[in-house]
Amino acid sequence: MEKYGLSVYNHDMDFSRPDNARIINKLKVLSELRKGECSRAELSRKLGINKVSIGDIIQALVSEGVVTEGKKDTSSPGRPGTLVSINRTGGRVFAFDIRPRSVSVSVSDTIGSILRFERFPRNADVMENIKHAIGKMSAGNDIKIYGSAVVASDDDIDTSSFPQPVITIPRAIAEAEAEIDKSDNLDGFLFLSWSDTFDAAINRGDLIHLPTLAHMKAQKDGICSCGGKGCLEIAASGKTLMERTGAMSVRDLVRNSSYAASIKEALRPIAVALSEAVQATAASGVMITGDLSVLPDSAYAYLQNLLSSLLPPTREIIVYRALSGEKGTREGAAIAALDLFFYKTMLLRKLDSIQNYD
């Protein structure tokens, strides 16, 4: 099982070898087609790969069932070329969201769209439920499963039964992946995941996990599980709010208006922690992700005012609501699995860094 951020490649690839060069060019084609359908001529122009090589690559990818050919491209003058695109039905990735009280299993196609999703209690039958869901979602032996991503709140989950290979990914990283996939210009953003627990990440070209943000001092009292006093986790996490209010679930906290006062009270320590984190990381913006991100505009306006009052006048930071809401964890986990096991984005980044260094 791989930890997020570690390369799955056991040796350095010699990019000068012809067979490896062909692999790299295939991955570049897939990466470009991920953005949308293209003709062979467009791919040649955008990637700087000659037309003969592009034709050979597309032929190989079509034969593998990874790419499909579609309609003619009539947008350019001259002889129209055939548009090619990623075959969305050619493969699957699984995402597992393991929480203290529940487990969700989802399967996504090769562009990251969720096809099926199930959630069930985390009890004595949890592994049997997971295996049953995997069987139902695998769609027989004809569909290739590229791998799985697991978002877990602890390390006691046996992933040997999950479709291999498997990557583990922090919750904040998964949710940030989902937002970056939907939006432009999120470089420098600090992502605060607010669910049962807190988690955080910052986008610096690559996503950097910030697990210590949950344990920044946000109030005077309250002993956290880490042993610290006044941590954000003990002040305002979903788990704390459930214990304080008697709510049955994190989702209940945002759906039941009777808990609005408790949610508003929790925004103050969040603003305190964010004010410190923004200045420490030089973040350019803040985005709240996770189950508790789906708060009304009035709550975000209140949090914005609190944060602005705590920051120096020269630091203007906007707080945004995630677009994905509670779906962000499984959407982002699927994207991470595709990046690593299908598009192999890490390998392309490695190549780019080598070329830029040279």
Can you tell me the distance from the alpha carbon of 358 to that of 353, in angstroms, rounded to the nearest whole number?
9
CA atoms within 13 A on the CB side of 144: 13
Q: Give CA–CA dist 304/354, Å, rounded.
A: 41
Residue identified by tokens 């060069």 is 21
Contact between 350 and 318 (Cβ < 8 Å): no
| Coil/strand/helix, residue 279 | helix
pLDDT at 346: 77
Low-confidence residues of the chain, pLDDT below 50?
A: 5-12, 15, 357-358
DSSP reduced 3-state for 150: strand
The position carrying tokens 């705590």 is 310
Burial class (CB in 10 A: 0-12, 13-18, 19+), 257: exposed
pLDDT at 9: 40
Residue 84: the pLDDT is 95
pTM over cut 0.85: yes
- The span from the CA of 218 to the CA of 272, in Å, is 6
| Tokens of residue 248, six digits | 């049955």
Domains of the chain in start order, with CATH, are: 13-87 (1.10.10.10), 90-170 (3.30.420.40), 184-322 (3.30.420.40)
Tokens of 132: 């049953």
Question: 13 CB contacts (<8 Å, ≥6 apart)?
Answer: 20, 347, 350
How far out from the chain centre does Cα 23 lie?
25
pLDDT at 156: 67
For residue 138, the model assigns a pLDDT of: 87
Q: How many CA atoms lie within 13 A of 330 on its CB side?
A: 24
